[in-house]
Amino acid sequence: MTQRHDSTAEPPPGPDDPPAVPLEFAAFCELHRPRYLSYARVWLPDPDRAALVVQQAFAEIAVHWRALLGSSNPTAHAWQILRGTVGEHTRQTGLPTGRSGAQDRPGHAADDDLAILHYVVGLAAPEIADVIGTDTASVAGRLRRTMLHEASGW
């Protein structure tokens, strides 16, 4: 009897190997990492710190991944985790958040984020919708409204 050995096969994972990342989570990270990183760099000028914050956000998303997949809008929930992680780090470092008047108008901070993603990061409305988990028409309308409300302050 001849034993066949397939040299392309990978050895089974050992007891100390980290568990495999679900394929859909890896794809999600690959898709969103560049945009999340661009957003984080607006608030955290140190590129290494911004990358660390995005990595922490993805770690938090990974913890909740199964629950997020079961939600009505996983992308929107993941975006909120990123926003929260970035906001926490800006407060910890004492950096200005640019959101001092966010309480004055409902959704103000979220609308500011849309403006940042559009005017600073350079994303078009469909790309922003993909990143934050909403529809393009909503993003376009909110961008117009933000531009009208903030024209004198931006």
Q: What is the pLDDT of residue 21?
A: 79
Q: What is the pLDDT of residue 148?
A: 75
Residue 94 phi/psi, 5° resolution? 75, 15
Q: Which two tokens stand for residue 112?
A: 């500011």
User: Among 75, 97, 119, which residue terminates a domain?
Assistant: 97
Rounded to 10 deg, the angle between the 108-115 and 136-150 helix axes is 100
Shared domain for 77 and 26, answered yes or no, is yes
Residue type, 149: H
Shared domain for 108 and 153, answered yes or no, is yes
Q: Which two tokens stand for residue 58?
A: 């993805």
Q: How many domains does the chain have?
A: 2
* 146 CB neighbour count, 10 Å cutoff: 23
What DSSP state is assigned to residue 73? -
Shared domain for 70 and 108, answered yes or no, is no
Q: What is the pLDDT of residue 78?
A: 97
CB 111 within 8 Å of CB 146: yes
Q: Which domain holds residue 68?
A: 22-97
Shared domain for 87 and 133, answered yes or no, is no
Q: What is the pLDDT of residue 147?
A: 78
Q: 């955290």: which residue's tokens?
A: 44
What DSSP state is assigned to residue 103? G
Shared domain for 135 and 85, answered yes or no, is no
Q: What pLDDT tens digit does each residue of the chain (154 aa) get? A: 555 444 444 555 555 555 677 899 999 999 999 999 999 999 998 999 999 999 999 999 999 999 999 999 999 999 999 999 999 998 877 655 554 444 344 455 788 899 899 999 999 999 999 999 999 999 999 998 887 776 555 4
